[in-house]
Amino acid sequence: MRLNRLASLAAVAVALATCSTVRADYDYTVAPGPGFQTVSDGGRLNAGPSVSGVGLTSSDVVLANPTFTTTSTTPQAVSFNFVYDLAIYSPSTGGSNTGTPATFRITGTIAGTASTTSSNLRVTSYQVNAPASRPLNGETFTVSLISGAGTTPGATAPQIGVNGAGSLLVHIQETAVPEPASIALLGLGGLGALTLFRRRKVQA
Protein backbone atom coordinates (compact mmCIF):
# COMPACT_ATOMS: atom_id res chain seq x y z
CA MET A 1 0.00 0.00 0.00
CA ARG A 2 2.81 2.40 0.84
CA LEU A 3 4.42 1.60 -2.50
CA ASN A 4 1.20 2.50 -4.32
CA ARG A 5 1.05 5.83 -2.48
CA LEU A 6 4.62 6.66 -3.44
CA ALA A 7 3.94 5.79 -7.08
CA SER A 8 0.88 8.05 -7.14
CA LEU A 9 2.74 10.98 -5.62
CA ALA A 10 5.67 10.47 -7.99
CA ALA A 11 3.36 10.54 -11.00
CA VAL A 12 1.89 13.86 -9.86
CA ALA A 13 5.36 15.36 -9.31
CA VAL A 14 6.65 14.22 -12.70
CA ALA A 15 3.61 15.60 -14.51
CA LEU A 16 3.83 19.00 -12.85
CA ALA A 17 7.58 19.27 -13.42
CA THR A 18 7.31 18.30 -17.08
CA CYS A 19 4.57 20.89 -17.81
CA SER A 20 6.68 23.84 -16.68
CA THR A 21 8.64 24.58 -19.85
CA VAL A 22 11.26 27.31 -19.97
CA ARG A 23 10.29 29.97 -22.49
CA ALA A 24 12.72 30.79 -25.27
CA ASP A 25 13.86 34.27 -26.20
CA TYR A 26 12.42 35.59 -29.43
CA ASP A 27 13.20 38.14 -32.16
CA TYR A 28 10.72 40.40 -33.91
CA THR A 29 10.60 42.70 -36.92
CA VAL A 30 8.04 45.23 -38.16
CA ALA A 31 7.36 46.39 -41.72
CA PRO A 32 4.61 48.49 -43.32
CA GLY A 33 1.91 46.22 -44.74
CA PRO A 34 -0.23 46.48 -47.88
CA GLY A 35 -2.70 49.32 -47.63
CA PHE A 36 -0.40 51.64 -45.70
CA GLN A 37 -1.50 55.09 -46.89
CA THR A 38 1.29 57.62 -47.32
CA VAL A 39 -0.16 60.66 -49.08
CA SER A 40 -3.22 62.86 -48.49
CA ASP A 41 -4.08 66.44 -49.45
CA GLY A 42 -2.62 67.60 -46.15
CA GLY A 43 0.81 66.02 -46.38
CA ARG A 44 2.70 62.74 -46.13
CA LEU A 45 2.71 60.01 -43.49
CA ASN A 46 5.97 58.09 -43.19
CA ALA A 47 6.06 54.62 -41.68
CA GLY A 48 9.06 55.59 -39.58
CA PRO A 49 12.43 53.91 -39.14
CA SER A 50 12.76 50.13 -39.07
CA VAL A 51 11.79 48.54 -35.76
CA SER A 52 13.06 45.20 -34.45
CA GLY A 53 13.99 43.39 -31.24
CA VAL A 54 16.49 40.62 -30.57
CA GLY A 55 16.59 38.11 -27.71
CA LEU A 56 13.41 39.25 -25.95
CA THR A 57 10.93 37.52 -23.64
CA SER A 58 7.44 38.79 -22.76
CA SER A 59 7.76 42.50 -23.33
CA ASP A 60 6.15 45.83 -24.15
CA VAL A 61 7.72 46.78 -27.46
CA VAL A 62 7.64 49.61 -29.98
CA LEU A 63 5.60 48.70 -33.03
CA ALA A 64 6.39 51.83 -35.02
CA ASN A 65 7.34 55.50 -34.89
CA PRO A 66 5.30 57.09 -37.71
CA THR A 67 6.05 60.67 -38.73
CA PHE A 68 4.01 63.26 -40.60
CA THR A 69 5.33 66.01 -42.87
CA THR A 70 3.52 68.88 -44.56
CA THR A 71 4.26 72.13 -46.37
CA SER A 72 0.83 73.66 -45.75
CA THR A 73 0.91 76.87 -43.70
CA THR A 74 -2.83 76.63 -42.96
CA PRO A 75 -4.47 73.69 -41.14
CA GLN A 76 -5.51 70.91 -43.51
CA ALA A 77 -7.75 67.92 -42.78
CA VAL A 78 -5.67 64.76 -42.70
CA SER A 79 -6.69 61.09 -42.55
CA PHE A 80 -4.44 58.07 -43.07
CA ASN A 81 -4.84 54.31 -42.81
CA PHE A 82 -1.77 52.55 -41.45
CA VAL A 83 -0.89 48.86 -41.62
CA TYR A 84 2.08 47.23 -39.90
CA ASP A 85 3.06 43.58 -40.19
CA LEU A 86 4.71 42.15 -37.07
CA ALA A 87 6.80 38.96 -37.46
CA ILE A 88 7.98 36.98 -34.41
CA TYR A 89 10.79 34.42 -34.62
CA SER A 90 11.28 31.88 -31.83
CA PRO A 91 13.69 30.80 -30.53
CA SER A 92 15.94 33.81 -31.04
CA THR A 93 18.50 33.51 -33.82
CA GLY A 94 20.37 36.64 -32.84
CA GLY A 95 18.58 38.75 -35.41
CA SER A 96 19.20 36.52 -38.44
CA ASN A 97 15.44 35.78 -38.54
CA THR A 98 15.57 32.23 -39.85
CA GLY A 99 12.63 29.89 -39.95
CA THR A 100 8.93 30.58 -40.37
CA PRO A 101 7.64 33.37 -38.09
CA ALA A 102 4.30 33.93 -36.42
CA THR A 103 2.83 36.98 -38.15
CA PHE A 104 0.36 39.59 -36.93
CA ARG A 105 -1.20 42.57 -38.69
CA ILE A 106 -1.90 45.80 -36.80
CA THR A 107 -4.15 48.33 -38.53
CA GLY A 108 -5.57 51.71 -37.64
CA THR A 109 -6.28 55.29 -38.63
CA ILE A 110 -4.50 58.57 -37.97
CA ALA A 111 -6.70 61.65 -38.45
CA GLY A 112 -7.03 65.33 -37.56
CA THR A 113 -5.74 68.61 -38.92
CA ALA A 114 -2.18 69.82 -39.38
CA SER A 115 -0.05 72.61 -40.78
CA THR A 116 3.63 73.50 -40.60
CA THR A 117 3.05 75.25 -37.27
CA SER A 118 0.38 73.13 -35.54
CA SER A 119 -0.97 69.60 -35.39
CA ASN A 120 -3.73 67.67 -33.65
CA LEU A 121 -3.21 64.41 -35.51
CA ARG A 122 -4.12 61.43 -33.36
CA VAL A 123 -4.57 57.71 -33.71
CA THR A 124 -8.36 57.32 -33.89
CA SER A 125 -8.39 53.52 -34.22
CA TYR A 126 -5.78 50.84 -33.51
CA GLN A 127 -6.34 47.07 -33.51
CA VAL A 128 -4.66 43.69 -33.85
CA ASN A 129 -6.35 41.69 -36.59
CA ALA A 130 -7.63 38.28 -35.46
CA PRO A 131 -6.36 35.86 -34.46
CA ALA A 132 -4.31 37.76 -31.88
CA SER A 133 -2.71 34.51 -30.61
CA ARG A 134 -0.62 32.22 -32.80
CA PRO A 135 1.40 29.06 -32.10
CA LEU A 136 5.13 28.93 -32.83
CA ASN A 137 7.57 26.12 -31.94
CA GLY A 138 5.73 24.82 -28.90
CA GLU A 139 4.73 28.26 -27.62
CA THR A 140 1.84 30.64 -28.09
CA PHE A 141 2.47 34.31 -28.83
CA THR A 142 -0.30 36.79 -28.06
CA VAL A 143 -0.13 40.40 -29.25
CA SER A 144 -2.25 43.07 -27.57
CA LEU A 145 -2.41 46.84 -27.47
CA ILE A 146 -1.08 48.63 -24.41
CA SER A 147 -3.82 50.62 -22.70
CA GLY A 148 -3.20 54.02 -21.20
CA ALA A 149 -1.62 57.24 -22.40
CA GLY A 150 -0.04 56.92 -25.81
CA THR A 151 -2.15 54.08 -27.16
CA THR A 152 -5.85 54.49 -26.36
CA PRO A 153 -7.91 56.09 -29.16
CA GLY A 154 -9.30 59.50 -28.24
CA ALA A 155 -7.82 62.16 -26.02
CA THR A 156 -4.95 59.95 -24.84
CA ALA A 157 -4.13 58.51 -28.26
CA PRO A 158 -0.59 59.01 -29.53
CA GLN A 159 -0.28 62.43 -31.13
CA ILE A 160 1.64 62.63 -34.38
CA GLY A 161 3.36 65.99 -34.52
CA VAL A 162 4.44 67.72 -37.70
CA ASN A 163 7.95 66.52 -38.55
CA GLY A 164 7.85 64.54 -35.30
CA ALA A 165 7.23 60.91 -34.41
CA GLY A 166 4.55 59.27 -32.28
CA SER A 167 5.22 55.80 -30.87
CA LEU A 168 2.74 52.94 -31.30
CA LEU A 169 3.26 50.23 -28.68
CA VAL A 170 2.17 46.60 -28.34
CA HIS A 171 2.57 43.88 -25.72
CA ILE A 172 3.93 40.47 -26.77
CA GLN A 173 3.05 37.65 -24.38
CA GLU A 174 4.92 34.37 -24.74
CA THR A 175 3.34 31.26 -23.18
CA ALA A 176 4.63 27.70 -23.18
CA VAL A 177 2.33 25.04 -24.63
CA PRO A 178 2.49 21.65 -22.80
CA GLU A 179 3.57 18.77 -25.01
CA PRO A 180 1.12 15.83 -25.43
CA ALA A 181 3.38 13.65 -23.27
CA SER A 182 3.24 16.24 -20.51
CA ILE A 183 -0.54 16.36 -20.67
CA ALA A 184 -0.70 12.57 -20.47
CA LEU A 185 1.57 12.54 -17.43
CA LEU A 186 -0.55 15.18 -15.76
CA GLY A 187 -3.64 13.03 -16.31
CA LEU A 188 -1.81 9.99 -14.94
CA GLY A 189 -0.79 11.95 -11.87
CA GLY A 190 -4.36 13.10 -11.30
CA LEU A 191 -5.63 9.53 -11.63
CA GLY A 192 -3.07 8.36 -9.09
CA ALA A 193 -4.06 11.07 -6.63
CA LEU A 194 -7.76 10.16 -7.05
CA THR A 195 -6.99 6.48 -6.40
CA LEU A 196 -5.06 7.36 -3.26
CA PHE A 197 -7.95 9.52 -2.02
CA ARG A 198 -10.47 6.71 -2.55
CA ARG A 199 -8.33 4.18 -0.72
CA ARG A 200 -7.98 6.48 2.26
CA LYS A 201 -11.74 7.03 2.27
CA VAL A 202 -12.42 3.26 2.27
CA GLN A 203 -9.93 2.72 5.13
CA ALA A 204 -11.60 5.43 7.18
- DSSP 3-state assignment of 65? coil
Does residue 92 register a pLDDT over 50? Answer: yes
Least confident of 1-5, 79-83, 97-101: 1-5
d(CA 154, CA 59): 25
| Mean pLDDT (whole number) for 185-203 | 52
Question: For the segment 93-147, what is each residue's pLDDT rounded down to a tens digit?
Answer: 999 999 999 999 999 998 888 888 888 888 888 899 999 999 999 999 999 887 5
Alpha-carbon span 3 to 139, nearest angstrom = 37
- Is 57 a residue whose pLDDT tops 80? yes
* Rounded alpha-carbon distances, angstroms, from residue 189 to 6, 11, 15, 31, 153: 11, 4, 6, 46, 48
pLDDT tens, 150-169? 444 443 456 676 666 677 88
Q: Which amino acid is at 123?
A: V
What distance lies between CA 21 and its chain's CA centroid? 20
Instruction: Decide if 23 contacts 204 (C-beta within 8 A).
Output: no
- Round to whole Å and give the CA distance between 163 and 121: 12
More reliable by pLDDT, 148 or 131:
131
Whether the model clears a pTM of 0.85, i.e. scores above it, the answer is: no
